[in-house]
């Protein structure tokens, strides 16, 4: 165990604790701190720069520079040495600052007489708050102990800033977590929501980062580490023996929990004056900083394990577990770094919306959110560090925007938007039982997508004619092992019961890519979206596929059955999958079980290759469903999870519409029923154009059926087709401007 030494850092922390305990306003407290640091470290200057906004630093306090420069001197991130520290989150220690790369002279501060410069970032768990700087006239390098002392003080300043210790004069000193903030993310599930923040993992608050007693803090650390090791061992013992991935993660946890180096570094931090909690967080911050710079995905994942383990240790030390005593709001919008499908299902429909700092549009959470019809935003960076339980929040799942603590004008406009949508929904309810019959007499079948039993009540309330897509993977994603055939069959039977006489199309397991089963080892693939997924997995590992097909046959129990195979890329794959189904039907018949009254075997057309497949594919498939989300990304070679390119390509692009029309014509030639399934089917303008080029069946989320039906019942497809053809002939890239202009003139 290291002995507490009378180092510069320890002496400084003791004095800092005394200073922070004295009553003072925000600016006065900052001024006292800069004077204290300069005195204790024997430097001529100490300055504190805090972020005014995401890109601008403001000099908020100084000892040694010109007082009139406070709240007047500002720097952009990356500008000058201070800006470089803020950008890189790394210290700069130089004996000749004017000769250092990127030096910027600020004459209003009078700093030209100071040669030595040491700047360290003020940050907390990856959240940048500012820069702490000391300067001296003589040209010298600051010692390792001095660098460490300033880093520790910067960490304490970050904690105290978090607690609002420096709130006072000047906009840069406004209290954290009180200002309005807007986040731009990626739409995972459409919809809008108003509510209050509910944190999946509440922030750990460290009220006292400075140790009162060295021995007490050391004992607290050792006891917490011992408890952590016991917890990890218990998790390992309880983990399924066949779940190699989970075991690998837990083994990594155990390795870190027993790491002597990790424990020794925290002990050294305590010896230098930090509390046990602050010592753990200092190591956690270092792990997060390394995570951002390590390119190797394996090492990055291990650092993520260490970050999670540090968080567990912090919760043991502070007693701030997941249940903090805070009362969940009546209108919760869940905020999390990421979340598993099972955890999201546990929350269920009680949530108004979900916002994730990480995640993707094809993740497990997105699949569940779509099934629950909950608005979801992913990749809302830094929201977990900014949001607090109970904060008012607006989620715009149409634009991918989140307003946290919105200004009154924003909230009013948003509530007006919701009121208009509610009024429109009332109007749609009046046509719920009416067919989607266009003015020119064409009837378009509108079906809903589903994935949970909880979706089935929407079949009646939305006016859907049936379930065009039932995602069967959800029941597999939320489990730690393959579900039993009897359980799966019982679920499918309940789905058919709830649908009564309406058709349900069951899509077999669409796993792979980023929908990886915890009990199926993921493949190390550079591009999983184009890799081992969906029907490819089913054909290579037919055991689960055959079990699922058996469950579907038994669930039908003499009723009609419609089965659809996903991600078929060539005729032979469809034929093999179809043969599997026919073999299971023969087998069930030999066992004396009731067989489906009628069997329809279809495929999702999600790869461009199937648009050019042999005529036999269209003749042999009982029905085809265009999987619009995947087909569009492969057609444009634009990853739908990459925001830089996803919005670059329009569904109503002339080339894509012509491509869809080619598929429509091939199905017409063979008399094969064709539908379009995906997010675009639920957008009224896109749905109108699809109907105009010949699609007569669309499948979408239940909430979209009303708006789409309303649009179709007011439209003449022949007129819409003429607008599309004219735009196409003109050389336009997209028919959207022409269609929108026609709709405006028509209304």
Catalytic residue annotation: 364, 677
d(CA 715, CA 438): 6
According to DSSP, residue 626 is labeled: E
**Integer CA distances (angstroms), 34 to 134, 210, 381, 743, in order:** 9, 18, 32, 64
Partner residues linked to 119 by β-bridges:
92, 133
Alpha-helical runs (H) found in 239-363? 244-257, 260-271, 276-291, 297-318, 341-347
> Is the backbone of residue 273 left (phi > 0), alpha (psi -120 to 50) or beta?
left
Nearest to 102 by CA among 86, 126, 114, 122: 86
CA atoms within 13 A on the CB side of 131: 31
- 44-69 as b/e: b if 16+ CB within 10 A: bbbbbbbbbeeebbbbbbbbbbbeeb
CB-based contacts of 55, cutoff 8 Å, min separation 6: 76, 77
d(CA 93, CA 136): 12
Q: What is the largest CA-CA distance in the chain?
A: 96
CB-based contacts of 239, cutoff 8 Å, min separation 6: 246, 247, 250
What is the helix (H) or strand (E) element at residue 4, kind and residue range? none
Do 673 and 399 meet the contact criterion of CB atoms below 8 Å apart? no
d(CA 414, CA 400): 14
Do 82 and 89 meet the contact criterion of CB atoms below 8 Å apart? no
Q: What is the dihedral of CA 237, 219, 266, 322, to 10 degrees?
A: 50
> Is the backbone of residue 143 left (phi > 0), alpha (psi -120 to 50) or beta?
beta
Neighbour order of strands in the sheet with 186-189: 181-184, 401-404, 392-396, 192-199, 332-336, 353-356, 376-378, 186-189
């Amino acid at each position: 165990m290291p002995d507490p030494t009378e180092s510069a850092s320890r002496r400084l922390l003791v004095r800092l604790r005394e200073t922070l305990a004295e009553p003072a306003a925000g600016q006065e407290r900052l001024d006292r701190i800069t004077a204290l640091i300069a005195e204790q470290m024997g430097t001529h200057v100490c300055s504190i720069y805090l972020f005014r906004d995401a890109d601008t630093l403001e000099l908020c306090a100084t000892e040694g520079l010109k007082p009139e420069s406070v709240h007047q001197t500002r720097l952009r991130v990356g500008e000058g040495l201070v800006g470089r520290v803020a950008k890189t989150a790394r210290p700069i220690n130089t004996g000749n600052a004017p000769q250092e790369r990127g030096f910027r002279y600020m004459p209003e501060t009078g700093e030209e007489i100071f040669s030595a410069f040491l700047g360290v970032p003020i940050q907390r768990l990856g959240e940048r708050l500012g820069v702490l700087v000391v300067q001296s006239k003589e040209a010298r390098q600051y010692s390792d102990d001095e660098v460490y002392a300033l880093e520790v003080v910067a960490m304490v300043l970050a904690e105290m800033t978090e607690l609002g210790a420096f709130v006072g004069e000047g906009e840069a000193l406004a209290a954290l977590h009180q200002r309005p903030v807007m986040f731009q993310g990626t739409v995972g599930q459409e919809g809008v929501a108003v509510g209050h923040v509910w944190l999946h993992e509440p922030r750990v608050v460290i009220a006292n980062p400075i140790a009162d007693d060295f021995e007490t803090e050391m004992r607290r650390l050792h006891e917490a580490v011992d408890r952590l090791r016991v917890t990890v061992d218990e998790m390992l013992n309880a983990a399924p023996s066949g779940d190699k991935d989970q075991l690998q993660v837990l083994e990594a946890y155990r390795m870190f929990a027993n790491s002597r180096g990790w424990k020794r570094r925290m002990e050294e931090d305590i010896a230098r004056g930090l509390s046990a909690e602050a010592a753990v967080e200092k190591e956690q911050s270092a792990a997060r900083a390394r995570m951002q710079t390590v390119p190797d995905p394996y090492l990055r994942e291990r650092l993520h394990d260490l970050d999670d383990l540090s968080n567990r240790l912090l919760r043991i030390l502070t007693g701030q577990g997941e249940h903090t005593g805070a009362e969940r709001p009546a209108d919760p919008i869940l905020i999390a770094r990421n979340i598993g499908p099972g955890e999201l299902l546990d929350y269920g429909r009680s949530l108004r919306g979900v916002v994730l700092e990480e995640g993707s549009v094809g993740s497990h959470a997105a699949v569940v959110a779509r099934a629950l019809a909950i608005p979801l935003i992913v990749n809302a960076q830094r929201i977990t560090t900014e949001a607090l339980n109970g904060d008012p929040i607006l989620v715009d799942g149409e634009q991918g925007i989140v307003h946290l603590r919105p200004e009154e004008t924003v909230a009013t406009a948003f509530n007006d938007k919701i009121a208009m949508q509610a009024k429109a929904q009332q109007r749609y309810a009046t046509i719920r039982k009416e067919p989607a019959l266009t003015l020119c007499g064409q009837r378009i079948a509108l079906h809903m997508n589903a994935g949970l039993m909880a979706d089935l009540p929407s079949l009646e309330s939305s006016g859907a004619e049936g379930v065009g897509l039932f995602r069967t993977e959800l029941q597999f994603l939320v489990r730690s092992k393959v579900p039993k055939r009897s359980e799966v069959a019982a679920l499918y039977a309940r789905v058919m019961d709830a649908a009564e006489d309406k058709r349900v199309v069951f899509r077999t397991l669409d796993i792979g890519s980023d929908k990886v089963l915890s009990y199926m080892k993921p493949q190390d693939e550079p591009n999983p979206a184009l890799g081992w997924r969906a029907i490819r997995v089913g054909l290579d590992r037919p055991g689960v596929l055959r079990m699922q097909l058996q469950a579907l046959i038994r669930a039908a129990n003499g009723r009609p059955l419609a089965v659809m195979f996903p991600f078929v890329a060539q005729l032979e794959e469809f034929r093999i999958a179809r043969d599997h189904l026919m073999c299971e039907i023969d087998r069930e018949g030999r066992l004396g079980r009731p067989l489906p009254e009628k069997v329809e075997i279809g495929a999702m057309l999600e790869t461009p290759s199937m648009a050019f497949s042999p005529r036999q594919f269209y003749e042999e498939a009982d029905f085809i469903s265009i999987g619009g989300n995947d087909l569009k990304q492969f057609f444009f070679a634009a990853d739908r999870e990459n925001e830089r390119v996803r919005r670059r390509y329009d569904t109503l692009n002339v080339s894509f519409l012509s491509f869809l029309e080619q598929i429509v014509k091939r199905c017409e030639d063979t008399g094969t029923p064709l539908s379009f399934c995906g997010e675009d089917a639920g957008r009224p303008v896109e749905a109108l154009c699809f109907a105009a080029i010949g699609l007569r069946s669309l499948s979408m989320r239940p909430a979209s059926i009303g708006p789409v039906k309303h649009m179709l019942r007011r439209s003449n497809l022949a007129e819409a087709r003429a607008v599309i053809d004219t735009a196409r002939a003109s050389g336009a890239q997209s028919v959207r401007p022409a269609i929108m202009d026609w709709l405006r003139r028509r209304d």
